[in-house]
């Protein structure tokens, strides 16, 4: 007959082994479940990855948009530059036209002034008539248009007193003037008559003329060839 005690001990051992096996399997399942369970860091990485994709797309869009904006600005600047060049050329042409018009106007004005000058300018000359002691008689001749004598001024050096007893002298007129030695006893070959006559024409324009005669003695002796200076 089998031993009942031995059977009981064997059954108990088998049961313990089965329970231990079930517990071990349960423990392994639990560990596998824990191991396979997503960690928080995994969630964060997944979320970051999900976010980074559209962010990268947005960055690309912004980059290309900036590039497009820059290209638009470049195109706009090119347009402005082309327009500026055209405008500059137009202004240059206009300036050249105005310059030519100004030159022509200046030419016309000079021509008009030259013509007017010939119409109104007095031409005054002095002609010596005679010598009597310390007094020299002469004539002021106007070979141009009418003049009004404003003043005369002695220059340095000058050895004569000057007498012009009138103010107006008409076109083609001849009027008497005279010069007197300041010191007749010191008269010599270097005696000089030197003065400036200021007058105006019929347009009220002022003129000045310097009369300078070197060696007046030779002038009085009718030697007019190389001793007379008029400006």
**How would you write the pLDDT of the chain (231 residues) with one tens digit per residue?**
455 555 555 555 566 666 676 777 666 766 665 555 555 565 566 655 555 566 666 666 666 666 777 777 778 777 887 887 888 888 888 888 888 888 878 877 777 777 788 889 999 999 988 877 788 889 999 999 999 999 999 998 898 999 999 999 999 999 999 999 888 777 766 788 999 999 999 999 999 999 998 877 666 665 444 433 344
Query: Of all helices (H) and strands (E), which one includes residue 150?
Result: strand 147-154
Q: Are residues 48 and 142 in the same domain?
A: no
Q: Are residues 114 and 182 in the same domain?
A: no
User: Would residue 45 count as lying in a domain?
Assistant: yes
User: Would residue 173 count as lying in a domain?
Assistant: yes
Q: Are residues 177 and 209 in the same domain?
A: yes
User: Would residue 86 count as lying in a domain?
Assistant: yes
| Structural contact between residues 192 and 140, judged by C-beta atoms closer than 8 angstroms | no
Return the pLDDT at 224.
Answer: 41
Distances (CA, A) of 224 to 77, 127, 137, 215: 79, 11, 16, 10
- Domain extent, residue 211, equals 122-230
Q: Are residues 113 and 127 in the same domain?
A: no
User: Would residue 5 count as lying in a domain?
Assistant: no
Q: Are residues 104 and 186 in the same domain?
A: no
Contacts of 210 (CB under 8 A, 6+ apart): 155, 194, 195, 196, 197, 230, 231
């Amino acid at each position: 007959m089998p031993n009942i005690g031995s059977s009981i001990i064997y059954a108990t051992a088998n049961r313990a082994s089965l329970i231990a096996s079930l517990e071990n399997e349960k423990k392994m399942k639990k560990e596998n479940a824990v191991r396979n369970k997503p960690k928080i860091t995994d969630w964060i990485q997944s979320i970051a990855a999900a976010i980074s994709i559209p962010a990268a797309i947005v960055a690309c869009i912004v980059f290309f948009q900036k590039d497009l904006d820059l290209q638009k600005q470049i195109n706009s600047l090119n347009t402005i530059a082309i327009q500026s060049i055209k405008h500059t050329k137009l202004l240059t042409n206009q300036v050249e036209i105005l310059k030519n018009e100004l030159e022509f106007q200046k030419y016309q004005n000079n021509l008009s002034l030259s013509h007017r000058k010939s119409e109104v300018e007095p031409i005054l000359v002095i002609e010596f008539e005679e010598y009597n002691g310390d007094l020299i008689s002469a004539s002021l001749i106007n070979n141009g248009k009418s003049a009004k004598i404003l003043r005369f001024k002695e220059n340095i050096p000058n050895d004569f007193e000057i007498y012009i007893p009138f103010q107006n002298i008409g076109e083609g007129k001849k009027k008497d003037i005279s010069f007197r030695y300041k010191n007749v006893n010191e008269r010599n070959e270097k005696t000089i008559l030197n003065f400036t006559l200021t007058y105006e024409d019929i347009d009220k324009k002022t003129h000045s003329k310097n009369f300078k005669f070197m060696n007046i003695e030779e002038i009085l002796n009718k030697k007019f060839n190389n001793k007379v200076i008029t400006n």
